[in-house]
Structure 1
């Protein structure tokens, strides 16, 4: 079988977390805040192969699965996505993208077989560090404790704002801006994880809609600060009058 050669050297991420494959710097904050925060992700190493595929897609996929298993990798069931369908004949063959995922130790390997008619490369490979084993058992109780504390804080704020004009809308706006990103992203991520194998789950910040919706979170944080300032008990500076007799 003819080997698949990458068109360039394997590119390694310069940092553990990257933005457009570059270390995050302060001058990137406009992109992170204004709709492009989804490009913030964990670093990985990878490369691509261009030109005609040396063998058929089915044979290439079968060979990759066989060699990965022989090398001690846990190989997951490949998933395929139809990129383009035909509305009316005559039709060209469907354009299909297939993803093969495997894991060995703390490394996750992903091979994406593309249709050359759609992409410049027919094969993209990527290797990434998996989340440490203690992340899940640690994150679950931490999330439960954080949820209880958040509920107590907002319950206190709700009682303190009762009957105070202008405070209830500010509390509602804070809750809305902080919860809407998570409510929008969590269902889509759940469906995504059910559709494709994920030996390492997407990071927690993506489940919270961050940093793609970080602007909403920051505005909500500003509202929370204003609310906290308004709810802080203040000393009554008026002189105390005591009547005798």
Structure 2
């Protein structure tokens, strides 16, 4: 097993010292626990992959880069797992509507299945949608859904409509959340015409049955309540192991990549190395700014209202809303790694030897 753990060390290091390390491990193995020895071997091997052996900050920068790579890789792994989820079926929506409100007149209901698992402005992601995705409209990239709406319901008040909905969801085997109330419109605070107590509320109820998620909105109306239903899919089970595995691989890959560049940077020109460090720090600001801006916002959102399906990981790290800074950060990193490879200028011995 120890021979496999030596893969944590860079290749040149293994060629020079692998025999010595294995001999030492064979001598101390009877006195030490194998798990602890293996953990130390991996830890020292990963540290040996980084340049500047006397530096402490290089470990911190490698960790910052590797964790960011792990988060972006995990979001991609989860996205791939979602592509294998069960497609939405408009027939299931029609059956659900008929089960909840048999015989009621439906104003509008989707009669076709969505074109993809994720859509932007109603269409699958394509090169034509890249400008929208990169320049401010990345939030429009979302889960596909199918919907239905009613403009007349048997109950004449919102509260009666809500009570009837909860009763029918329970009878149909749906697990549903507590209702969420929100103002149907906003007004200017402290304005004479703004009376928050007189603003009619909208009511939202989330429900789940199997892998079907249902969002029901009861909109405010002075006479008859209006109801909209939207059906989506629950998170597929494969998303969790896919995200965890992708995070581990992405973090490890980021560490190895950082180490590969940092070891070669030790022989680079001092001015080029200084500029490369500044560019690397700028790229990390671009990456982590999106993460640190998006994560607290998403956490507050999840604490404010119930969720049968958490928002996907890429939204927690600011993607694809802030995908342009992410891509620009990659370009800066590529340029910085190229600068770090510029060699020092070596002095040439021009002393002539006499015959």
User: Please, what TM-score do these two structures have when normalized by structure 2?
Assistant: 0.59
| 2:316 is equivalent to residue 215 of structure 1 | no
Deviation at 1:135, TM superposition (A): 2.2
| 2:131 is equivalent to residue 30 of structure 1 | yes
- Could you report, residue by residue, the CA deviation over 1:143-197 in whole angstroms, capped at 9, with x for unpaired residues? 3553465456557767848952311210111101111111111111111111111
Mapped contact 2:109–2:149 kept (Cα < 8 A): no
| 2:222 is equivalent to residue 122 of structure 1 | no
Give the number of equivalent residue pairs.
242
Alignment of 1:51-200 (within 5 A): 54-83=155-184, 84=186, 87=190, 88=192, 91=195, 93-116=198-221, 122-140=226-244, 142-143=246-247, 146-147=250-251, 149-150=253-254, 153-154=257-258, 160=265, 164-200=273-309
Deviates more, 1:228-237 or 1:131-140: 228-237
Deviates more, 1:80-89 or 1:207-216: 80-89
- Could you report, residue by residue, the CA deviation over 1:30-77 in whole angstroms, capped at 9, with x for unpaired residues? 111110110001111112334688521111111111111111111111
Deviation at 1:131, TM superposition (A): 0.8
Q: Which residue of 1 aligns with 2:95?
A: none
Deviation at 1:141, TM superposition (A): 5.4
| Structure 1 gap segments, 5+ residues each | none
* Structure 1 residue ranges, 4+ long, deviating more than 4 angstroms after superposition: 1-4, 51-54, 89-92, 151-159, 233-245
How has the CA–CA distance of structure 1 residues 157 and 180 changed in structure 2, closer, same or farther, with 3 Å as cutoff?
Answer: farther
User: Please, what TM-score do these two structures have when normalized by structure 1?
Assistant: 0.82
Mapped contact 1:2–1:54 kept (Cα < 8 A): no
Structure showing greater radius of gyration is 2
Mapped contact 1:158–1:171 kept (Cα < 8 A): no
Bigger relative contact order, structure 1 or 2 (CA pairs below 8 A, ≥6 apart): 2
Specify which structure has the higher proportion of helix: 2
| Structure 2 gap segments, 5+ residues each | 1-100
Q: Which residue of 1 aligns with 2:44?
A: none
Classify the secondary structure of the residue corresponding to 1:13: coil
Classify the secondary structure of the residue corresponding to 2:109: coil
Classify the secondary structure of the residue corresponding to 1:199: coil
Provide the aligned C-alpha RMSD in A: 3.5
Deviation at 1:139, TM superposition (A): 2.3
